[in-house]
Structure 1
């Protein structure tokens, strides 16, 4: 039993700043962005601009730490930019997907937690448990 898929996504939400502005400001190319659409039937899309950078296509690894390390390497030296974005009303976090066939789970070392704190980033996981093929 083990992790079958994982990746991490840096997310930035803003009610004012367009995703293109966020990308220019942070200096990291997004993998997905959605500008606010006042006519959307979905409340979050009506209210917020969305910018994100995921590791899903960059790494073929089931080690969540490698995915987080990649995102943090992209953020190297950008503590001030993230802080300024938050000061201007943006919300920032890291959201992870983690699929497994059972036991175990994602892990964070103390050093990794310190890095997340340095960048002011909370982290959460969306977890899925698949059926074992040969149970």
Structure 2
């Protein structure tokens, strides 16, 4: 990290069978009980797609294929920004291994049923829109 450049936290809008994966935080205490798009901090020199694959393997025990970045980035704690990528589930069944106590698959019409972290809301809305559009096109 050089200068005042923020460190990237990559989140995954994991998609499977017309559904979006949500993960409920168990830590830290300030975030516990709220839902997020799972992911984590990039390691130095790590590409966002590589970091996303690594983080989702560590946190949820799944293999994903990153697809596209959702436009925008959202400030987190000072010095960090969230970038979100859509990703296709290619292996494993998500289970809460680190920093989460529950995971849930949500269809586009049900994403509002959980209390998302504020910074995840714009990306969740875009992921739900993409899923709904895909279903309308028969994909």
What TM-score, normalized by structure 1, do the two folds share?
A: 0.30
Bigger radius of gyration: 1
Which structure carries more strand by proportion? 2
What TM-score, normalized by structure 2, do the two folds share?
A: 0.29
